[in-house]
Structure 1
């Protein structure tokens, strides 16, 4: 019975949140933006990730990649995919300090290395459409927000992200 109640509460919470999702707005020119991506054992996702980022980056964007001591060929895949593209910077992971969780530590390491006034954190298993960064900034302006958290509505329809 308790499991049913908890599941029902989670469903209600999700449905209420869905009522407040709004699609991203039309793109605006993106101000300087750091795109921060922690990667651990993401070799299979690297080619699609980098390809989608290359199409979406503006002159004001820079991608920071934290290769978190992967056991697979993530680092090598990053080197191949990025080649000599100066819009990307790879940081090699350091041992996890006591009391830190892996992804939180990786995101902290990334954030401390950025110089841009805006930071966009992405997971390594996502792809973005070419207008995503501009639409994200358009939504920040429209909402007068200082923080957005996104939710990918569809993996098959570019432009369907919501926040």
Structure 2
């Protein structure tokens, strides 16, 4: 038992050093752009049953300080009042266009089809695709455009800050940042064309227009339900750079409100996100069970075997706290990291089981495999 404690402590200490070093390869924010003739930026939002978000989204857009914007929102056959709310709240602002989506084509994923339509309606030199639950800091656009001064950059994306409310969202949603900082070599993601080292977040996808058109945009990933990562890979495949930034200072995403939404949202993405690889799923299960769940049980033994049995759990907490502080997350959530790891694995196995049984994933009234 003591040897296990030593092994876990050593591994967790090294992985903590890796997390700190890895985070240094997030690109630094350049100075906000000031231009005599600012390029047109199209902000594009697919919406399906977004009644609770649409008014706050539009108010957020009206506060943006960049001077040359157009906003195009597409209602994708909502069953609620999304469309009427959007129309009523934008009547007096000519920068807004509210579209009604065409019927979903066979072979297309719903969000991808909506984004494809939005891209064809856009006039901008740059295209920013946002989810309806995303909110931007007022100077976000002028702060992001300097990334494109390198003409090879085709896409700027990043994981937002995630306000969390329900208990399952507190356990699972912040794990997105943890997985990126721990598992993704950010040097390869940001400074190489190596496709497997690619990540993106669909809530914030900022494209240079000619690069987007060159890869045929969302048409190139038309059947994907993890289109964000697949678009990043296609960008790299065609020689464009993808900048994965720590977007938390500028972008907030109120990702899921209820426990059921958290479950269904991660269920449809998590197994597909690892390439439907049973080997990868088993590897992650062993890794997280050993390094992030077992330390809790060792800590419970510390009154009997000594204070050293607390060390692995303290290192787990230090890792999670460091990432949470760097990403604007609730500070106390680090205490629940072993339970978060367990919840992550439960959803992973449920998603894998659903795939093996060839059952559909259900999201916003649509079924996907």
Q: TM-score, normalised by structure 1?
A: 0.78
Q: Where is the helix percentage greater, Structure 1 or Structure 2?
A: 2
SS state of the match for residue 155, structure 2? Answer: coil
Distance of 1:56 and 1:124 partners within structure 2: 16
Q: Residue 26 of structure 1 aligns with which residue?
A: 31
Q: What stretches of structure 2 of length at least 5 have no aligned partner? A: 1-18, 164-246, 252-369
Structure 1: 5+ residue runs without aligned partners? 1-14
Instruction: Decide which structure has the larger Cα Rg and report it.
Output: 2
Q: 2:249 aligns with which of 139, 160, 163?
A: 160
Does residue 75 of the first structure (1) align with residue 83 of the second (2)?
Answer: yes
- Structure with the larger RCO, 1 or 2 (CA within 8 Å, 6+ apart): 1
Name the counterpart of 1:40. 48
CA contact (8 A) 2:39 2:68 kept: yes
Asked if residue 66 in structure 1 is aligned to residue 74 in structure 2, the reply is: yes
Q: Which residue of 1 aligns with 2:115?
A: 107
Q: Report the CA distance shift for 1:154/1:25 in structure 2 as closer, same or farther (over 3 A).
A: farther
Hey, what's the Cα distance between the residues in 2 that align with 1:90 and 1:23?
Answer: 35
Measured against aligned partners, the alpha-carbon deviations of 1:99-153 in whole angstroms (never above 9, x if no partner) come to: 1110000000000111211101000001111100111102332686221112214
Q: Tell me which moved more, 22-31 or 89-98.
A: 22-31
**Alignment-derived partner of residue 143 in structure 2:** 135
Q: In 2, are the aligned partners of 1:46 and 1:81 still within 8 Å (CA)?
A: no
Taking the aligned partners of 1:154 and 1:20, their CA distance within structure 2 comes to 21
Number of residue pairs matched?
Answer: 148
Structure-2-length-normalised TM-score: 0.37
Tell me the secondary structure at the aligned position of residue 128 of structure 2.
strand
Would the aligned equivalents of 2:49 and 2:80 in 1 still touch at CA under 8 Å? Answer: yes
What per-residue deviation string (whole Å, max 9, x for no partner) do you get for residues 42-71 of structure 1?
011011111111111533110111111100
Whole-Å separation in 1 of the counterparts to 2:137 and 2:89: 18
- The structural deviation recorded for 1:154 is 5.6
Contact 1:63/1:87 (8 A) holds in 2: yes
SS of the residue aligned with 1:38?
strand
The one of 63, 72, 75 equivalent to 1:55 is: 63
Change (3 A) 1:161 1:22: farther
**Cα pair 1:39 1:66 within 8 Å, conserved:** yes
- Give the Å deviation of 1:18: 4.8
Q: State how far apart, in whole Å, the 2-side matches of 1:71 and 1:80 are.
A: 17
State the alpha-carbon separation in 2 of the partners of residues 154 and 160 from structure 1: 11
For the residues of structure 2 that align with 1:81 and 1:37, how far apart are their CA atoms?
15
